[in-house]
Structure 1
Amino acid sequence: MREINRSKSPVRHLAKVPVAAAFVSVVGAAGLAQAADDATLSTVQVTADRKGDPKGTADTYNAPVTTVGRTAQAARDIPQSTTSVTREIMNDQGANNLKDALRNVAGVTFTAGENGRSGDAISLRGFSATTDLFLDNIRDTGQYNRDTFNIDRVEVLRGPSSMIYGRGSTGGVINQVSKTPFQSDASSVTLGIGTEDYYRFEGDINKGLSDTAGLRINLMGQDSESTRDGGEAKRWGVAPSVTFGIGEPTEVTFSYFHMQENNIPDYGVPFLRGTDGISRPLPVDPKTYYGLPEWDYEDTKTDILSAKVSHQFTPDIKVTNNTRYGRYWREIWPSPPRMGAGVTSANLTDNSQVTRSRNGGREGLDEILTNVTDATFNFDTGTIRHQVLAGLELTRETSDTTRWGNVVAPPPATVGNPNNNPAMPAPIKNYTTNVQFDSNNVAVYLQDFIAFTPQWKFLIGARWDYLDADYDTKTFATNTTTNVQRTDSEWSWRTGLVYQPDAIQSYYVSYGTSFNPSAEAYSLDPKGANTPPESNRNYEIGAKWDLFEGDLSLRTALFRTEKYNERNTDPLVSDRYVLSGKRKTDGLEIEVAGRITESWNVFAGWAWMDAEIVETKIAAEKGKVPLNTPDYTASLWTTYQIDQFWKAGFGANAIGERYANNTNTTVVPSYVRWDAMVEWNYRDYSVQLNVYNLFDKTYYDSVYAGHVVPGNTRYAHLSGTYRF
């Protein structure tokens, strides 16, 4: 039986307790002098970077090289919109999870409990990217809340990209780049405390084993509550890795990642229907929580074991093989709130009823075993230069998920009295379904980046995917099992033309495609088994500039991303979905990242999106804006190094009005949230204070059809780091 211990600390606001931190350094020095009778030789000092050690990227917001296309490439050579959120940005912002890191990325929004899923739920350019998360360019399928303690940077490639990454990627892909070992001894320890009982520990220990080998261990532990009157996040993780052959023709890296969570989930507040027929978030204090903290829980265990082997046969030929096993376990039982029957803004009182649903309990185990081999070849045909990428991907994925509800419904709350600990019997699981899914995927791909001249370059690539999926659903009430199968064979394409008149400017036009099979999110039904994949395409024209001798990058892009045969339900077609739907997002993006002066860093992005459901069998949705797609998103973060000891920074995150449904009858208001930081640094020690939601703005962060999660009210984190 699961042991429940969800008691809260009696200290609710650490901000009311005086906090002081002091770091003292004692440095000793010793000298050695040697004299000769007839001569004194002057000292000659030679310094150099050891190959493989981190170089010059830790203190900048600009990442001129990205790996989001599977191989390391200059961002200016990629004919698509890309964004890299560097380690320095995450450090300055105190961004300890993937969601906070992605707040910097234009066109990103967040959903809450989408389609029964848990963990990170992300939309990009108005299309769900929840199944388009990758770790070191390999699919990261788990439903968990990703931490950044073992992440060096987060890379985003926008637009359909199945040619590189296979199924999915309508709006783009998100790639997390892990920290890797190097040959020097360099370590750090960070301790953090904050309001709302926030405590965090991070350790990053790197040990040079030889001139060509290194060992690195990253550690994390966090215990924190929400600024709302419920919700709690407890997690810990460890990520050891070792690399042999750094700088040698053959390099081998073994890594392991483990993270556990024990959370109280927060499903926010329900929507309230207004007299104008439009539903909006229930207008209560943003701290109000309608869940059941003694009974609600979200537990996850994530284990990822990876082996990477690369060999440089010649300066122009390299083969890399990645093998990974991932195991993702989760169990969640939340209590999403809903307004009582008949309650509207016209008759709302503190005594109006808020119900709690307990039918969404589920436990699941997802596993992935994959092997990806990439080969790169550089060669000339006359005066034309070719950079060829060829690959083979073999993947097996399985999922086993059981769902249940509560035998006895929990007592309702009222608007003015959430009553988070009502008298109720211990929950009893009423099992409803068990779903077992397995799939095998084989893919081959080939891409050529052709330099006709130093100024004109052309990219063309193709990929063929074969996906075989099997889906068994057991219904406990009838003790029956339904089996459905689906096999898809799909081609994906990618092409682009790049013009680079000099080392500063780069202009491009591009086109790419992707596909979404019925079994994409480990789900399939009898109709879906008879329905071909959805198709997507992206048209884009853009420009990239490397300014201030490469310290600052500026990019802009004009795009159209569209899903042109979306699955629709037609009452006249009983055995399959109809691929008659179409939706599109037209948009403009602008982004700047890097150093303006030696002391001044900036990262800013803005995206304007004009999204529309163009064709659908549901008349009420035609011509409307797709859910969770605001007309704009914007972010700004900037810091200034005042002197050798002090650095200060501030920033903002803004999102326009969004809808929580495709009929546009449920509205989430726009917002602007401001944050700030200050850091004191002395030699190997630093102390940093981050204040979030500086002006205590009420806003709504994650959106779902039935509920919306308010963002945190003002809170603060104080951290201290020692480097050795």
Structure 2
Amino acid sequence: MAQPTRFRFTRLLLATTALAGTALAQPAPAEPEEQSQDVVTLPEFSVNTSKDDSFVATESTSGTRVATDIINLPFSVSVLTEDFVKEFQLFDLDQQAPFFSGMAAGDPAQGGGGGTRLRGFSVPYFRNGFARSQAPDSNSIARTEVVKGPQSAIYGRVSPGGVINYISKKPGTKFASGISNVVGTYDYQRISGDITGPLIPGKVYYRVDAAYYDFERPTDFWFNRTTNVSASVTYKISPNTQLTAEHEYTRRIMQGGQAFSRWTRVANGITITEGSVFYLPDQELADRLARFSSNGALSRVTRESNSSYLTLEHRIAQDLSLRANFSYSTREYFRHGTSTPATWATNPTTARQNVLNTLTGIWLDTTKGIWTGDRAGAHQTIDYEEKGFQIDLTKKWDGKIKQRTLLTFDVYGNDQDQKTWALSGTPLNNALNALGFTTTAQLNAWKNPDPLNPSVSGYYALPAFDPATWSVTASSTNTFKRFYYGSLLNHTVDLMNGRLSLTGSVRKDWAEFDVSQQKGDRQQFTYNTGANFHIINRAMVAYGNVATGFNPAPQFDPNTSELLGNQESFGGEIGLKGLLKNDAFSYTLAIFNVEQDNEVTDNPDNPGGSDLDLPRYIPGATTRARGISLDVGGKVTSNLTLLANIAWTDVRIIEHASSPALVGTRPTGTQGVPPRTYSFAARYNFREGALKGLRLGLTYQYAQQYLRITGTQTATTLQVPYYIDERKEWGAVVGYAFKKFSNGMRLDMSMNVANVLDERKMTVAAYYPEGRTFRFTTNLRF
């Protein structure tokens, strides 16, 4: 197993300790404030992110780009607060996903934040309203807001499922700092620190958050070492003007990825491809194969990003406000390792048996089978550059009828340069010869690593990358340049003394694409409109909306060079929502239906694209998602807090030009989602008596089994369907908040147990299950 590097851990520990020392040196007030409030000049562009143990947020900026009561938004909005994320150790979006209704989690083991789907569709990421190609690290985030349904009239290009908008942490008005340390199963260690307060009282405020975490998994060689640092400075130029600068840096180093390792057997002359190797009849072999990473211990994936933001807020008049945002981000992805021989043959073909015979004396056991193919060298780099500008002008209209207008103009550019190489055949043999693999047996041993002997096969040297000998993989080498600009007009009206809220948005977007020297452009008009009617004050509100969306998937036809059109969506949602117990408890019941068309398929009139005068691809498919979801959350009593959801999501292909047999079926592959999900999280705080300071928490997650890979059959082969297993998982937390010390310092300690019942199911991306895990957290606030 890979041993964690301690250098960055030690460096960050020293840094956060220094923060703590600085904090202790501060003169404590007689009655210290429990929370440093965010610096706010224009409340119409901000939401209150102060700590609240109800887990409930009553405002959102994600629904209309300005702060609005969620109760008055005509669509479903879900929010996870920083308190909730930290309490239940949900630092990755894929860990948070089960607590958003209708959201299907990806796999946190992949480390890229991808794979999450909302209402059956992929989910775009935003940070403070700016599009991002990758989710930010949770260390810099105050809350995660999810707005469901087509939202192109607000955000431009998005998927029909909805959007995720991360709200970053902001400088506080009062001095505050803290450090946190987490240790646990699989060498888990996480240390973080934060500090905020005034640099120049009344004028300049700052905030710095830093985190380093390092942990492993039961998968051989797997590790994740991540450093995240974010900093922000706010300058209150005047009572009506504020300027905020932010920067975030993230570096993540991991061992190479995993694949869906399946196994084959031969019966009655038919080669049968079964499911995951985890379920082989030979359980000892199954366990070893499922844990094995054929990429080896020396394979590396590195992700590094730098993101800068500048926000100017200015009140022009009492009823007229302006916000201007700038963003610039760069991201680098680097992978060097091997391809993955994903299938294990228990009955090898003659050719593979001949390879296996050469491994006698090298492999520990040659009677269990062999991989169905050799591995090769793999190298990939992806460089991203993202830049954007937004300007929002909002006006409140005086009069008997309460109204607000928002006018927005935004620009966004995204450049991507992806290069992929492979090393195989004679060039691979030559490179391996130089590393000491000179005999046929040694070459075969490198190309077919022994899963029963990972301490040897996992540490075989990797050929260095050399563009002169490595071949370019054309299908995965390209450059993308995307440039979008658009304008939005939103108007909101409150009627009947606030009982009826009406809102509508119209937007026009233009897009220019340059895909590997092929250029094209598109434009799109989108709208949404909705209404909220307060049936019983804020306790029961009926709402409904209709909306359109578009999601550019720039692709040029290889035959005609024609740019295929935007994926377009149309949908509606109706439901009930409300706030109870003095706004401490909320619920949202939603019924939705949305369709996305213009999805690309093969052209049935030109199979295989053989006629170069006809398009090879056409926009010939449509996917529909419909369902019901219920979200509840907040304080049940003064001591008991609850967050729960349940969702039924029915996603179907309703049109497919090239494969009509798919009509009526559910999407598979990375587009597959569990039809039914539900979860809850509860926490009980003891506020009086001998147990005062103690808290107990419990979580449960459920996701129904769903199809990942469809089955196929020929005269000589049979591939059985591959399912993602049903997931049932309990979690628990016990914590204790000690009494405040005389110097104002506060100590909190907790223990989290994930997968309490030790359920063992392969993960969504085919990683070996972690089983029951423990984490112990110590928090100090100053």
Q: Same fold (TM over 0.5)?
A: yes
Provide Cα deviations, 1:539-558, integer angstroms capped at 9, x if missing partner.
11111110111011111101
Secondary structure (helix, strand or coil) at the match of 2:679 reads strand
In structure 2, relative to structure 1, the CA distance for the partners of 1:660 and 1:256 (3 Å cut) is same
Kindly state the Cα deviation for residue 582 of structure 1 after the two structures are TM-superposed: 1.2
1:604 counterpart (644, 667, 683): 644
Q: Is the contact made by 1:559 and 1:588 (CA closer than 8 Å) also made in structure 2? A: yes
Q: Which residue is equivalent to 2:173?
A: 183
1:384 is matched with which residue?
401
Aligned to 1:229, the other structure's residue is in SS state coil
Question: Which SS does the other structure have where 1:90 is aligned?
Answer: helix
- Give 1:77 deviation, angstroms: 1.2
The residue that corresponds to 1:68 in the other structure is 62
**How far off its partner does 1:622 sit?**
2.3
C-alpha deviation, 1:106, in angstroms: 1.8
Residue 480 (structure 1) aligns with? none
Alignment match of 1:127 (pick from 121, 128, 134): 121
Q: Are 2:750 and 2:778, in contact at CA under 8 Å, matched by a contact in 1?
A: yes
Write the letter of the residue equivalent to 1:442: Y
TM-score normalized by the length of structure 2: 0.79
- Return the letter of the residue paired with 2:342: R
Match of 1:580 in 2: 620
User: 8 Å contact 1:625–1:662 — kept in the other structure?
Assistant: no
Matched, 1:566 2:566: no
Residue 291 (1) aligns with residue 285 (2): no
Q: How many residues align?
A: 672
Pick one of 419, 426, 441 that aligns with 2:463: 426
1:208 maps onto 2:198 in alignment: yes
Do residues 622 (structure 1) and 670 (structure 2) align? no
- Is structure 2 residue 291 aligned with structure 1 residue 301? no
Q: Assess if the C-alpha contact under 8 Å between 1:637 and 1:649 holds in 2.
A: yes
Aligned partners of 1:460, 1:207: CA distance in 2, in Å? 39
User: 1:485–1:160: structure 2 CA closer, same or farther, 3 Å change rule?
Assistant: same
Aligned counterpart for 1:652 among listed residues 689, 692, 700? 700
Asked if the contact 2:600/2:621 (under 8 Å) is kept, the reply is yes
2:183 to 182, 193, 213: 193
Tell me the TM-score normalized by structure 1.
0.85
Unmatched tracts of structure 1, length 5 or more:
11-22, 33-43, 473-482
**CA separation in 2, counterparts of 1:155 and 1:547?**
21
1: CA distance between counterparts of 2:596 and 2:630? 23
Identical aligned residues as a percent: 20
Question: Residue 633 in 1 paired to residue 677 in 2?
Answer: yes
- The one-letter code matched in structure 1 to 2:296 is P
Equivalent residue number for residue 567 of structure 2? 534
Match of 1:250 in 2: 241
Matches within 5 A, 1:453-464: 453=496, 454-464=498-508
Contact 2:737 2:748 in 1 (8 A): yes
Question: Which residue in the other structure is 1:264 paired with?
Answer: 255
Q: Which amino acid aligns with 2:209?
A: N
Residue 235 in structure 1 maps to residue 213 in structure 2: no
1:465 and 2:457 equivalent?
A: no
Q: In the alignment, is the contact (CA less than 8 A) between 2:176 and 2:197 conserved in 1?
A: yes
Q: Any conservation in 2 of the 1:570–1:578 contact (CA below 8 Å)?
A: yes
Deviations 1:119-170 (CA, angstroms, capped at 9, x unpaired)? 53321111122xx11111100124xx74211110111111111111111222
Q: Distance in 2 between matches of 1:55 and 1:302?
A: 26
Decide whether aligned partners of structure 1 residues 582 and 191 sit closer, same or farther in structure 2, where only a CA change above 3 A counts.
same
CA distance in 1, matches of 2:488, 2:255: 43
Matched, 1:153 2:157: no
Give the aligned partner of residue 701 of structure 1: 763
SS at match of 2:94: helix
Aligned partner of 1:339 in structure 2 is 343
CA RMSD of superposed structures (Å): 3.5
**Structure 2 regions of 5+ residues with no counterpart?**
7-19, 41-47, 280-285, 354-365, 430-445, 607-613, 713-720, 741-745
Cα drift, residue 26 of structure 1: 12
Conserved 8 A contact 2:306-2:329: yes
1: CA distance, partners of 2:28 / 2:236: 35
Per-residue deviation, 1:292? 2.7
SS, match of residue 764 in structure 2: strand
Where does residue 437 of structure 1 map in the other structure?
480
Is the aligned partner of 1:504 residue 2:534?
no
Measured after TM superposition, the shift of residue 316 of structure 1 is 2.1
Determine if contact 1:278/1:666 at 8 Å carries over to the other structure: no
1:494 corresponds in structure 2 to: 528
Compared with structure 1, are the counterparts of its residues 212 and 597 closer, same or farther at alpha carbon in structure 2 (3 Å cutoff)? farther
Cα distance in 1 for partners of 2:78, 2:675 equals 20
How far apart are the structure 2 equivalents of 1:629 and 1:370? 32
Counterparts of 1:319 and 1:84, CA distance in 2: 25
Matched AA of 2:572: Y
Note closer, same or farther for the CA distance 1:423–1:245 as it changes in structure 2 (3 Å cut).
closer
Deviations 1:550-590 (A, max 9, x none): 01111110111211332211142542532221111111101
Matched, 1:101 2:96: yes
Deviation at residue 198 of structure 1 after TM alignment: 1.2
Mapping of residues 280-429 of structure 1, within 5 Å: 280-282=275-277, 283=279, 284-285=286-287, 288-333=291-336, 335-340=339-344, 350-353=368-371, 355=373, 357-358=375-376, 361-380=379-398, 383-407=400-424, 408=428, 410-413=446-449, 420-421=457-458, 423=460, 426=463, 428=465
Aligned to 1:78: 73
Map residues 504-523 of structure 1 onto 2, 5 A cutoff. Answer: 504-519=539-554
Post-superposition Cα deviations, 1:647-692, rounded to whole Å, max 9, x if no partner, equal 1111011111122246793322211011111111112001111111
Contact 2:322 2:391 in 1 (8 A): yes
Q: Secondary structure, in 3 states, of the residue corresponding to 1:88? A: helix
Seen in structure 2, the aligned counterparts of structure 1 residues 338 and 162 have a Cα distance that, compared at 3 Å, is same
More strand by share: 1
